[in-house]
Amino acid sequence: MGIALWLSCGIVAFLIARLVPFARRNPWVELAITLLAALALGIFATALDFAGWNELDWRAGLFAFFGSFAAAGAVRAVQSLATSNGGPS
């Protein structure tokens, strides 16, 4: 159940990030990054003893949500820098 919480928090972060039109490019890259970040941060939350991979805990959910939302922002920042420096749009 914990993994489902992490992944759902990653999907929600992805959907909220897609509402912001700035530097919105390829949705598949952004989705992959947010889901991988949510999983990695969920595993890190388990190491910090915020529940576990099979237990629900709101602290692990928030950790995964905010971390994957930040990862989506980092993807947008990199894409914005790439297009402003004359790279492919």
The structural domains of the chain, with segments of one domain joined by +, span 2-84
Other Cβ atoms closer than 10 A to 44:
14
Q: Which tops the pLDDT comparison, 82 or 75?
A: 75
pLDDT, one tens digit per residue, over 12-24 is: 999 999 898 877 7
Does pLDDT of 73 surpass 60? Answer: yes
Contact criterion met (CB below 8 Å) for 53 and 23: no
Q: Is 54 left (phi over 0), alpha (psi -120 to 50) or beta?
A: alpha
Whats the size of the chain, residue-wise? 89
Distance of CA 76 to the CA centre of its chain: 12
Q: Provide the pLDDT for residue 67.
A: 95
What was the pLDDT predicted at 89?
Answer: 53
Query: Which pLDDT score, from 0 to 100, does residue 76 have?
Result: 86
Q: How many helices (H) and strands (E) does the chain have?
A: 3, 0
